[in-house]
Amino acid sequence: MHLYVYFQFITLITGNTYEHSHLAPRSLKEIMSRFQVEELHLTLTEGQWRHKQWGYPVMDAAPGAELYAWFSPTVTDVNDNWKKLSATLSGLFCASLNFIDAHNTISPKMALTPLGAMNIGLNYTSQFARYASLPREIVCTENLTPWKKLLPCESSHGFASLLNSRLIHNTNYHSIGVHIRKVCSNNECTNYNFEVKQTVALVYDFKIINSMNWSFKLLFGQGLFGGCPLSSSSKIYIDVTSNDTLPFKLSPKPISIIQSQRGGSDTLLAVYVIKADSPMINIGAKHSIDNKFSVTIPPPLHFNRYVLGYGKEFGGIVTEITNNYWAPIDIVLLENAPWWLPIQLSTLRINGEAESSLILKQYYSPGRSRQRPYHLELLMRLPPKSTTTVTIDFEFVFLKWQEYPPDANHGFYIGSALISAKLPTAKNYTSIPIDGTTLESVINASKPWYPAVFRTNGAMVSLPTPDFSMPYNVICLACTVVALAFGPLHNICTKELVLKPSGTSLSLRQRIINLFKKKKD
């Protein structure tokens, strides 16, 4: 049993000038215009979202750091802008985003689509999109502090004052993110505004907080002292649907309870409206029965990923995707293997078959050592009520000794695969619709299908290591062997055989006497 807490701060930048910005962070606006970025998504995540047990998050994020962006079609050298963008963000968020380079960047073809307003008729998905993830990145206070500084009230007022790094970094899963997109400012979409969305997702384990009764004080160490005075709206929504099966009481009482019907699933939301001058509020829930276990019903689409094989020579990556729904679901699976994990396309097997009818479209860009990752995208139609297993083999690479990170035997992280799905049902689906901004837009937002991009769990492999302590020895020994050939060959080629009188061998005594005799002479 877990508790999911999601914060979302939206700042709208109106107008195209960034010289005067009193609410929006000028630094972000400058980055957007300087590198001609149309849309930007950055998340820093610690922990692994468990889709099967927890359902779907509002915004999924890969473990570690993840950055993807769309550039304006006027950009001539996208790779250069991308490099500069990641380096700038690296400084802004104190994260190692400067390690993003051509060797871990891909241009997704099908899996990612822009969420903001884009010019019609341009193929944004391939040329101008860049995606990179750094699964090894560790998220800490140093990333949260600059993130908080981007907010209009920083951390002094409003919801952000709850984000006490001592407590939120103790959660099972925490993810901070910045998402910038273009939104139309009028119905004809002749003009646009930038929308800066800053998110925090936290997952608390009831076992760890040692009680199913939660309150702001327990989760954040303090109550909430009113909203940010600069904000136009501050609302708290609490999903109280589970009240039927697992009764609990909210205190203080919510202002209203809204019923939302979306794609065949009913959700009850308790709403609190927070004003800037509201008194301190400590929202909490008290369960009538403590520590009761409930059976979780897995969401319509869930997945698992793991590494096969033993030894450090050959292995395989398996991605298992389960469709629980009664209709087929179309997904795009994006496998992004780093260059030191060369996957072999000829070993791709879907449910053990080489040529599977489940694949509708396939894209593959082979990697190159130290230059480019391996990038595979599969558009698949998952049959109803089935589990599809995608297997691909790889070979372990032997790196140069200076390419191993510190603590080489810790292992190497493989980034998550992306699964982009068109969900036919909104069960467990909490994402904000593409035309919405705040969480209010989720209510009764039924659509024919629901787009979602998920990240599978990452994995880890242990690459074979050389002996780091002996570069000199190896260089000397190998050169000695070369010299062993060079010496005799040099002799053979430059000298000739002759007979040399060799006399009878002298005894040691005789030799010593000879030595003295020589001295006398």
Partner 1 sequence: MALVLKYVVAVLVRYWLIHSDYWQTLANRVEIATPLNSWKRLIEGIYLFEHNIDPYDGDSFHESPLLLISFYSLLKYAPYLLPGVFTLIDILTAYFLYKTAKIFVRILKRNQENNIEVISDESKAMILTNLQLEEVPEYVLSVYLFNPYSVLNCVGMTTTVVQNLLLAVSLWGSVAGHRLVACIFIALATHQALYPITLIVPISILLADVNKGCKKCSYIRTLLVFILCWGFLIFISAYIMNGSYSYIYNTYGFILTVPDLKPNIGLFWYFFTEMFEHFRLLFVCAFQINALILYVVPLTLRFKNEPILLATVLIALSTIFRSYPCVGDVGFYLALLPMWKHLFTFMQQKFIAGCAFIITSVLGPTVWHLWIYSGSANANFFFGVTLSFATAQIFLITDLMFAYLKREFTLKHGSSRQVDGKPAKLVLR
Sites of contact with partner 1 (CB under 8 A): 310-314, 339, 342, 344-346, 362, 364-370, 372, 374, 395, 397-402, 464-467, 470-471, 474-475, 477-478, 481-482, 484-486, 488-504
Torsion of CA 22, 28, 33, 36, to 10 degrees: -160
Residue placing its CB nearer to partner 1 in the complex, 187 or 469: 469
In sequence order, the β-bridge partners of residue 271 are: 237, 256
Nearest-CA neighbor of 422 among 454, 390, 457? 454
Q: Which is nearer to partner 1, 306 or 364 (CB)?
A: 364
Q: Which helix (H) or strand (E) holds 88?
A: helix 78-93
For residue 29, the 8-state DSSP code is: H
> How far apart are the C-alpha atoms of 338 and 370, rounded to whole Å?
9
Q: Say how far apart CA 142 and CA 162 lie, in whole Å.
A: 17
Shorter beta-carbon distance to partner 1: residue 244 or 467 = 467
Rounded least distance, CB 357 to partner 1, Å: 16
Name which of 19 and 313 has its Cβ closer to partner 1. Answer: 313
The smaller minimum CB distance to partner 1, of residues 321 and 399, is found at 399
**Minimum gap (Å) between residue 340 Cβ and partner 1:** 11
Contact 25, 59 (CB under 8 A): no
Burial class (CB in 10 A: 0-12, 13-18, 19+), 502: exposed
Beta bridge partners of 270: 238, 257
Q: What span, in angstroms and rounded, lies between the C-alpha atoms of 372 and 365?
A: 9
Nearer to partner 1, 309 or 451 (CB): 309
Q: How far is the CB of 472 from partner 1 (least distance, A)?
A: 8
The nearest distance, CB 510 to partner 1, in angstroms, is 18
Give least dist CB 498 to partner 1, A. 5
Nearer of residues 247 and 405 to partner 1, judged by Cβ = 405
To which H or E segment does residue 483 belong? Answer: helix 471-494
Q: Which is nearer to partner 1, 264 or 464 (CB)?
A: 464
8 Å CB contact between 392 and 344: yes
Q: With 0-12 CB in 10 A as exposed, 13-18 as middle and 19+ as buried, what is 151?
A: buried
Peptide bond into 25 cis (omega under 30): no
In angstroms, the Cα distances linking 343 to 29, 380, 395, 426, 439 are 39, 19, 7, 35, 41
Q: In the complex with partner 1, which residue's Cβ is closer, 233 or 465?
A: 465
Q: Report the alpha-carbon angle 360-365-368, nearest 5.
A: 160
Tokens of residue 352, six digits: 């053990």
Structure tokens at 462: 């242990």
For residue 433, give the DSSP letter: P
Q: CB of residue 78 vs partner 1: minimum separation in angstroms?
A: 19
CB of 405 to partner 1, least distance (A): 16
Compute the distance between CA of residue 124 and CA of residue 114 in angstroms, rounded to an integer: 8
Nearer to partner 1, 294 or 504 (CB): 504
CB of 310 to partner 1, least distance (A): 7
Tell the smallest beta-carbon distance from residue 339 to partner 1 (Å).
7
Query: Closest approach of Cβ 468 to partner 1, in Å?
Result: 9
